[in-house]
Amino acid sequence: MSAKGRRNLVIGQSGGATAVINASLVGAFETAQEDGHFDEIYGMRYGIEGLLKEDLIDLRRQPASLWPRLRTTPAAALGSCRYKLMNDDPERILALFQRYQIHDMLYLGGNDSAETSHRLAQAAQQQGYDLRVVSVPKTIDNDLPYTDHCPGYGTAARFIALATMHATMNMLALPKEYPIKVIETMGRDAGWLVAASALGKREEHDSPHLLLCPEHTFNEDAFLKQVETIYQQLGYVVIVSSEALSDEKGQPVGALVETDAFGHTMVSGVAERLTEIVRDRLHVRANFDRPGDIQWDGISRTDNDEAYMVGQAAVRALLAGKTDLMVTLVREEGPAYRCTTGSIELSKVADQQRLLPDAFLNESKTMITRSFYDYALPLLGDPLPNYPQFEVIKAGP
């Protein structure tokens, strides 16, 4: 139990983990530790769900050697959760905060975590409890509004671009084995990761050849016509599809699995279904890849640095007496890429999505435009490799 008059900080992680969410945790902790304003710095184990069980750890008592190593460690070191607050939870949490004399809270997460943060900030204001709450953005889906991009996206974008390049190279080594490849991405209702798969595409014939984004409805006949045309031209086709692809009736192309605590539908098997359609109607061999959680692999240095920076900015916002807001990344104008931080009221962010803009896709909505390359390439960190190929020069006798 804390002594009277103390001001303690608690930090939690929530939602699907990313490769750089721990960098934000380290940025927040180191900034809070250096300032000396906070008496204690606690960590929630398994987010709000753990907080409700009083599962807190003392971050200041961790070994000093932990923090630099944690900065490049993927996943959520504190543990995460997908927990939607029940009606009486805010009151329970505020009572717990009063006991531990917690007056400052950072919550690292995406859309649903922003909603949780907003509800707690509002509850504290209504009850007159001195609490400052700041949301720290993260999501590979890149679908939080009012921020140029989200920490976690750059690494996942880099991975899916490389995965698409590598899958194609392997495919071309045995072109008759499976000439049609479908790659499925995560991202829920936003096509940011689908678009990222094309960032390694340098020539028109390079893969991927078709992008199926969830913002645009799927038409089976049009899809098959496009696949057949490309197959006749190149002899192979690489397709990248969103997990949340839906048809013209609003029905998921994959199988509806369940609905999570926040009401998000969870769909599985989109890539498998697309390969079935190709095999059954075009009678061409096809297979699929579904990367899943391995999209953390290969941390983008830019992504890591910016995740650390938003953690720092969140603590500075608390120290300035601000509450009920989310830290944002703001891209500066100029020929060289550079981002600074800003903030936005959580009421504008909570439970909202930013979908892939039409300007980032061509007229047919099946391939990215130059403007998307300009937007996304700086987020990947190091340049993507440009693999060499043999020139087809026939040998003479």
**Which range has the worst mean pLDDT, 175-179, 253-257, 283-287, 324-328?**
253-257
The pLDDT value recorded for residue 243 is 93
pLDDT classification of 296: cutoffs 50, 70, 90: low
pLDDT at 274 over 60: yes
pLDDT classification of 3: cutoffs 50, 70, 90: very low
The span from the CA of 166 to the CA of 173, in Å, is: 11
The span from the CA of 301 to the CA of 48, in Å, is: 29
pLDDT at 42 over 70: yes
CA dihedral 369, 371, 374, 380 (to 10 degrees): -60
Instruction: Give whole-number Cα distances, 13 to 70, 77, 107, 114, in Å.
Output: 14, 8, 6, 11
Token duo for residue 270: 């989109």
The pLDDT value recorded for residue 1 is 34
Q: What is the mean pLDDT of the chain?
A: 93
pLDDT tens-place string over residues 348-383:
998 789 999 999 999 999 999 999 999 999 999 999
Q: What is the mean pLDDT of the segment spanning 44-51? A: 97
The pLDDT value recorded for residue 2 is 38
The pLDDT value recorded for residue 397 is 85
pLDDT at 216 over 60: yes
Q: In angstroms, how far is CA 64 from the centroid of its own chain?
A: 29
The pLDDT value recorded for residue 16 is 87
- Among residues of the chain, what percentage have pLDDT more than 70? 95
Question: Which domains, from first to last, does the chain contain?
Answer: 8-139+147-151+299-348 (3.40.50.450), 154-297+355-380 (3.40.50.460)
Catalytic residue (choose from 141, 143, 189, 303): 141
- Is 305 part of the annotated catalytic residue set? no
Beta bridge partners of 342: 328
At 250, phi and psi to the nearest 5?
Answer: 80, 10
Q: What is the mean pLDDT of the segment spanning 20-48? A: 97
pLDDT at 143 over 90: yes
Token duo for residue 328: 């944002």
The pLDDT value recorded for residue 184 is 95
pLDDT tens-place string over residues 299-335:
999 999 999 999 999 999 999 999 999 999 999 999 9
Please provide the DSSP assignment of 265-285 as one string. Answer: EEEE-HHHHHHHHHHHHH---
* pTM of the predicted protein model: 0.94
